[in-house]
Chain A
Amino acid sequence: MAAVDDLQFEEFGDTATSLAANPDATTISIEDPGETPKHQPGPPGGSGREEDDELLGNDDSDKTELLAGQKKSSPFWTFEYYQTFFDVDTYQVFDRIKGSLLPIPGKNFVRLYIRSNPDLYGPFWICATLVFAIAISGNLSNFLIHLGRKTYHYVPEFRKVSIAATIIYAYAWLVPLALWGFLVWRNSKVMNIVSYSFLEIVCVYGYSLFIYIPTAILWIIPQKVVRWILVMIALGISGSVLAMTFWPAVREDNRRIALATVVTIVLLHVLLSVGCLAYFFDAPEMDHLPTSTAAPNQTAAAAKAS
C-alpha cells in the first residue's frame, strides 16, 4: 500500500473521481488560496474513518462555521449582507448543478459542493425556470393532445403560472424551513455531529429540483409510459441526492426517527412530482374518447385512467 502521505493526499481526491477535483478548485478560489486543504482534518488512519470524515467533516464543519461567521459580518439591513448569498461564480453554479444530477453514493452534496458558501442564486432561478417550464410544457402538451378535436379552443391557461409558482416556491422554501426546525429540535436532544444551516438546506432543495426542468419539458410527449419512466428517473436522482445529504444528519438519532425523516423527505418529493404531473398535464388517453356510445369498454378505461 502507499505511504501515509500518499494516503493523506489521496483522501482529498479520494473519491478519486473528477468530481472531487472540482471542489478543491472551488475551495481555493473561495477561501484563502492554498490554505484550505491544510485545514482539512488528516485521517486518523484506517480507510473506514476516511469516508466518515468526508461525510461528516468533524473539525472541518467547526472551522467552516467559523469562517462562515467571519464572512457574513454585515448587519442584516445592509445590501452587502445579501450580497454574500450571491457570492458564486458561473463555474461554481455549474458544478453544483452537475453534482445534483450525478449523485454518487457516499458523497454529501453539501460538504462536497456547497462547503459553507450557500448561495441563493441557484435555488431562486432554478425554481423560476421550473415554474415556467411546467406551465409552458403543460400548456403545450394539452394543446398537442387535444389537437384533433373540433370542440377544442386553445387557451394559454395563464392562471396556471401563478399556481405553479406558489407550489414550487412553497415547496422549495417551506419544506426546508420545517426540516431545519426539526433538525435543530433533534439536535438539542441528541448530539448530532453533522448539522446544516437553513441556507444550506434551501440550497440542496433548490439544486435538487434542477432535474425536473428537462423532465417537465420531456413530459410534453403524450405517452403515459414515457411520463412515468421520466418520473421514476427524476425521483431516483433527486431523491437520492436528498437522502444522501440528510442521512448523515439524522443517523445518530433513534433509528425509527431517522428512517421516518428520510422517508418523509422522499415522500414529499414524490408528492410534488406526481402532483405536478397530474395537475398540469392532461392524461393522454382522453384523446381516444370515442364520440359514439358504442364502445363502453373504452369509455370505462378512459375514465379510470383520468
Chain B
Amino acid sequence: MRSRIREFDSSTLNESVQNTIMRDLKAVGKKFMHVLYPRKSNTLLRDWDLWGPLILCVTLALMLQRGSVDSEKDGGPQFAEVFVIVWFGAVTITLNSKLLGGNISFFQSLCVLGYCILPLTVAMLVCRLVLLAEPGPINFMVRLFVVIVMFAWSIVASTAFLADSQPPNRKALAVYPVFLFYFVISWMILTFTPQ
C-alpha cells in the first residue's frame, strides 16, 4: 500500500522494526502537516500512501460508533456504514475524475481524499468533548461552528491538491462530488448524539 522512492539502493530488511515504523509514521505525519497547512505542493501526490487514510477512517468510524447496545433500526451509522461510505465515496470520486479526463492516478487521488478527512476527524474529537458538557442550543451552535469550519478546511485542502489535475473546463464537475462527500461526512459528525 505504499510507494517507495528509493534514494539509495539498500535493503531495508535488516533494519530494526522501530526504524521501519518510525519512517512510515514520519511520512504520515508530514502529510498531516501538509493537509493542515494546504499549499500547492506535490508531496501528497508524489509519495502517496494509504496508511493515513486508513488510520483516519478507522478513528472516525470508531468515534461515530454509539454505545451500541441500542440496535434500533433508525439509529446512527454503524462502523461498517461509515467505513463503506468513506472508501466507496473516495473510489467513486476518483473514478469520476478519471472519467472526466483528469490525469491523476487512482491511488494518488484516494490518498488525497483520505488525508483531507483529517480536519473532520479533529472536528469529531472536538464535538465529542463538547458533548460532555451541558446539552442545549449553545452546545449545538458550538458544534455547528466547528463542523462548518472544518468542512471548509477539508474542501480547501483537497481542492488545492486535486484541482490542477483536471481539464480546465471541467473543474467544477470534478470538485462538486468532493463537496458532496465531505458534506455527508460533516452531516454524520454533526448529528452524532451519544446515548
B-binding residues in A (CB < 8 A) = 79, 82-83, 85-86, 88-91, 93, 121, 125, 128-129, 132, 136, 139, 153-160
CB nearest to A94 among chain B residues: B172
Establish whether residues A158 and B176, one from each chain, have CB atoms under 8 Å apart when the complex forms.
no
Could you say which of B74, B172, B193 contacts A160, with CB atoms under 8 Å apart?
A: B74
* Interchain residue pairs with CB less than 8 A apart (9): A85-B99, A86-B100, A86-B101, A121-B99, A156-B74, A156-B188, A156-B193, A157-B74, A159-B73
Establish whether residues B169 and A132, one from each chain, have CB atoms under 8 Å apart when the complex forms.
no
Could you say which of B75, B172, B177 contacts A158, with CB atoms under 8 Å apart?
A: B75
Main secondary structure of the interface of A (DSSP, over half): helix
A158 to B10, CA, bound (A): 50
Establish whether residues A121 and B187, one from each chain, have CB atoms under 8 Å apart when the complex forms.
no
Establish whether residues A156 and B171, one from each chain, have CB atoms under 8 Å apart when the complex forms.
no
Could you say which of B77, B96, B170, B173 contacts A156, with CB atoms under 8 Å apart?
A: B77
- Chain B residues lying within 8 Å of A128, measured Cβ to Cβ, are 177, 180
Establish whether residues B171 and A90, one from each chain, have CB atoms under 8 Å apart when the complex forms.
yes
Establish whether residues A90 and B169, one from each chain, have CB atoms under 8 Å apart when the complex forms.
yes
Establish whether residues A125 and B177, one from each chain, have CB atoms under 8 Å apart when the complex forms.
yes
Q: B59 interface residue, CB < 8 Å from A?
A: no
Q: B72 interface residue, CB < 8 Å from A?
A: yes
A66 to B98, CA, bound (A): 27
Nearest CB on A from B178, distance (A): 11
Q: B114 interface residue, CB < 8 Å from A?
A: no
Q: B119 interface residue, CB < 8 Å from A?
A: no
Q: B76 interface residue, CB < 8 Å from A?
A: yes
Q: B184 interface residue, CB < 8 Å from A?
A: yes
Which 4 pairs, one residue from A and one from B, show the smallest C-beta to C-beta distance?
A86-B99, A156-B191, A157-B74, A89-B169
A132 to B76, CA, bound (A): 15
- Chain B residues lying within 8 Å of A93, measured Cβ to Cβ, are 173
Q: B81 interface residue, CB < 8 Å from A?
A: yes
A126 to B75, CA, bound (A): 26
A283 to B148, CA, bound (A): 30
Task: Identify which of residues 145-193 in chain B touch chain A, using a CB-to-CB cut-off of 8 Å.
Answer: 169-173, 176-177, 180, 183-184, 187-188, 191-193
Establish whether residues B76 and A90, one from each chain, have CB atoms under 8 Å apart when the complex forms.
no
A237 to B72, CA, bound (A): 39
Known: A90-B173, A93-B173. A154 touches B193 (CB 8 A): yes
- Chain A residues lying within 8 Å of B100, measured Cβ to Cβ, are 86, 121
Nearest CB on A from B66, distance (A): 10
A121-B100, A132-B180, A156-B75 are known contacts; what are 10 more A-B pairs with Cβ within 8 Å? Answer: A79-B98, A88-B170, A91-B169, A129-B180, A132-B183, A154-B193, A156-B74, A156-B191, A159-B73, A159-B74
CB nearest to A160 among chain B residues: B74
Establish whether residues B99 and A90, one from each chain, have CB atoms under 8 Å apart when the complex forms.
no
Task: Identify which of residues 67-89 in chain B touch chain A, using a CB-to-CB cut-off of 8 Å.
Answer: 72-77, 81
